Amino acid sequence: MRAPSDAGAVEALGRDLSRLLGGGAVAPEAEGALQSLIALAGRLASDKAAMAAMIAAQEARIAELAAQLAALTARIAQLQRDLYGSRSEWRREDGDGSDGDVAAGGKDGRRGGRPGRKEERGDAVNDTGLRFNGQAPVIDIAVTPPEIAGLSEDDYEVVSERVHCRLADRRSRALQRRLKRAKLRHQDACFEKINLTRPRGLDQSVVLALGDCAWIHNGATILITGPTGTGKSWISCALAHKACLEGFQALYLRVPRLLNDLRIAHGEGTIARLYRDLARIDLLVLDDWGLAPIDATRGRDLLEILDDRSGRRPVIVTSQLPVSDWHRQLKDPSLADAILDRLVHGATRFELHGASMRIDHAGAGTGP
């Protein structure tokens, strides 16, 4: 006879044996063994029921622990948001590999702007385990109740204050890194210092509306045209500086030098990497557009760069030429149509005029 595979099969076997015993079909000498089998089947059936009840209890406990873990995870995420802000902001402040000297395609661009090992090491660890001088992350004790942190009320306040100072220092250094990598032509440019009183074609309401940086989130394009000295480059740097203050990575490039970098990248076989690095920059400033005619090869490069950003990441373009003259500076008419469609459609335009602000020593955009 084949051995039963589980308690149910044994229980069924027991019932069959009981019927055989009742019918007197089994020899008397085998009756004791059959009775033992029947008892075993009963015990296995009872054990099966007990096991099912235990499994159900364990499943209920697992569900309870899963709910507690989900609540704890949500609490930790909330504490991190309260202390550090959004995860994207945290990455922007520390540098997440999306910046560096991308236009030149040098070491900084390849390394993606990661901090050096000296920055990554903490300089000192106090008895609470917090690193206050290095780059190691700190625990979110600033928003943890004192009884959870295991500190007295006074110690909690002291450590909380130090953590906030540490975060302020970290954000300040992150801002300095963003400004350094932005390579702004005018280091003194600042959004709050844009001269809106001098009559030169700046619409005050439009300029002030740019202060909330919503245009960066929307991937908008800003075109600034006008004669030399009217403050085009200064205003573009001021807007880029504002973007850096808000946690975005900006990059200032003069178009003639960018075209030369593109030519070199083609020769070195690194053009794809240059496209990729430029596409990662949050705000791209292209200064001195159209100073010289642009051939078809460089026109295709510009189209690739602008197409990667169109509607996704913002661009600021400045030029001495009015927008109506840009088409003839591009030698390939088809490329010119495609490029201008991406630049001009839906763009915010400032057409500056007036005397040079360098001549009257007013300062490029800042006023007297």
Q: Domain segments of the chain: what residues?
A: 7-81, 115-182, 191-351
pLDDT, one tens digit for every residue, the chain (368 residues): 444 455 566 556 666 666 665 555 555 556 666 677 777 777 888 888 888 889 999 999 999 898 888 888 887 877 766 665 544 444 444 444 444 455 544 444 443 443 343 333 333 334 344 444 444 444 444 445 544 556 667 776 777 777 788 888 888 999 999 999 999 999 999 999 999 988 888 999 999 999 999 999 999 999 999 999 899 999 999 999 999 999 999 999 999 999 999 999 999 999 999 999 999 999 999 999 999 999 999 999 999 999 999 989 999 999 999 999 999 999 999 999 999 999 999 999 999 998 887 765 444 444 43
| Residue 126 dihedral angles phi and psi, to the nearest 5° | -90, -175
Determine the pLDDT at residue 16. 65
Residues 6 or more apart whose CB falls under 8 angstroms from that of 290 comprise 255, 319, 320, 321, 325, 326, 329
Which of 176, 214, 185 shows the shortest CA–CA distance to 95? 176
Q: How are beta strands 315-319 and 250-254 bridged, if at all?
A: unpaired
Overall CATH class of domain 191-351? alpha beta
pTM (whole model) above 0.85: no
